[in-house]
A and B are shown apart, each in its own frame.
Chain A
Amino acid sequence: MRGESLKGHLDLLVLAVLAEGPLHGYAVIEALRERSDEAFDLPEGTVYPVLHRLERAGLLVSSWQVVGGRRRRTYRLTDPGGQVLETELTAWYEFASAVARVLRRPSWTTT
């Protein structure tokens, strides 16, 4: 799946990944790839601006550690971020469910 298809959904996906615990950017991208069974094929570098934007919006908070001599930034979901995730998830499941009902293959197409 190309990056264009993910536009508009990436915020929700990143929040969902970070709902399971703090991660650094590399691990967030790795989780996105693994949990989508490698379906999400977007340039990895374009995920960082999303993380920064979510932090500016107060949905994430970051902290720095030194790991292996390199500075590493770790992101954590904030309480407002968790609330936004819950709201967006509910909206997403309602939307996906409605789309699935509309697209359900009619019986006559399989005969």
Chain B
Amino acid sequence: MDHDLIDAYVEALRHSLTWRTDIEDVVDEVADHLRENVARLVESGVEPGEAQRQTLACFGDLGLVARSFAQAPTGALAVPTRTTRAAGVVALAAGLAWLVAVVTGVTGGHTELLTTWTLPRYQIWTAVLVVAAGLTTLTMAGVLLRAGRLRRTTGAAAVAAGVVVTVTLVQWAWVVTVVMALLGVALLAGFRRDTGVSDHVMRPMRVLGAAWPLGALALVLANEVARVGPVDSYGDYQLARLASFVICATGSAWALAVVGLRLRAEAPATLDARPRTPVGNVSGPRS
């Protein structure tokens, strides 16, 4: 046969699902199904070209099948888009902001453990924290969108929690690790169970979510139980506060940088693109 409809269909499906990390497995599995059905039809006496047309008609319109591969369990599309790629840039900016927050926090913004604490330094550090938390919330919204969960209750609640945390930091930056723990819990809740998104993206997001609650727990234990290092005028152990913040913020910077790079690397889906072959609208009787 000089024109193989099965090959054209499989290649068009590959083109529609390029963002999937398991695309080769998907394509091989679909090709196996289609070839098996064609072989059975030909064995039963159907002409090869007609066998291919009947097989594709039963398998489903390319657009419909590609969309079914792209749907999250919620029914929403879970695909990379220009918006999720933009969220990748936001994630990189958020990671950078957390690094700046570490530097400004260590140099007198958070504690006076290493240098003198001053109000202007605290205000600069607070502003950086608010920017970092805001960008982190936007990143979370982008990944929720990528997972088809932004409009679910848990997804919307996670973003709302991020906004609350961002606003709270304006007044409560000095307990940043505890405040950020709320965002971490919201993030873990928003991404619990199977998201359909590659582990390459989800693993760092879960690290980000777990870091702050664990950091807050470590802070409380260090402040109330271990009680190591100098005490500030409020009676807090500065080493516990600064160390928990630096570790969580640095971990967040790493996680967000990884998420950002991986969101940027995903080509936007082209689910609406129609195939250049008649495979998308063939019809025929079932064998």
A interface with B by C-beta (< 8 Å): 24-26, 29, 43-46, 48-49, 52-53, 56-57, 64, 67, 70-73
Residues of A within 8 A of B29 (CB): 25, 48, 71-73
Contact of A43 among B30, B36, B61, B73 (CB under 8 A): B61
A25 touches B196 (CB 8 A): no
- Residues on B facing A (Cβ under 8 Å): 25-26, 28-33, 35-37, 58-61, 64-65, 68-69, 71, 73, 193-194, 196
Closest A residue to B57 using CB positions = A43
CA–CA, A24 to B73, complex, Å?
22
Partner of B71, one of A26, A49, A70, A73: A49
Determine whether the beta carbon of A26 is less than 8 Å from that of B194.
no
Q: In the bound complex, do residue A49 and residue B68 qualify as a contact, i.e. CB atoms below 8 Å apart?
A: yes
Q: Which residue of A lies closest to B13 (CB)?
A: A45
Residues of B within 8 A of A56 (CB): 194, 196
Provide the residues of chain A in CB contact with B25, threshold 8 Å.
64, 73
Kindly list the 9 A-B residue pairs having the minimum CB-CB distance in the complex, ordered from nearest: A43-B60, A45-B65, A45-B60, A46-B68, A71-B28, A45-B59, A56-B194, A70-B32, A26-B33
SS class, residues of chain A in contact with chain B: helix
With both chains docked as a complex, state the minimum distance between the C-beta of B144 and any C-beta of chain A, in angstroms: 18
B69 partner residues in chain A, CB cutoff 8 A: 48-49, 52
Please determine whether A57 and B194 come into contact, CB atoms closer than 8 angstroms.
yes
- Chain A residues with Cβ under 8 A from B193's Cβ? 57
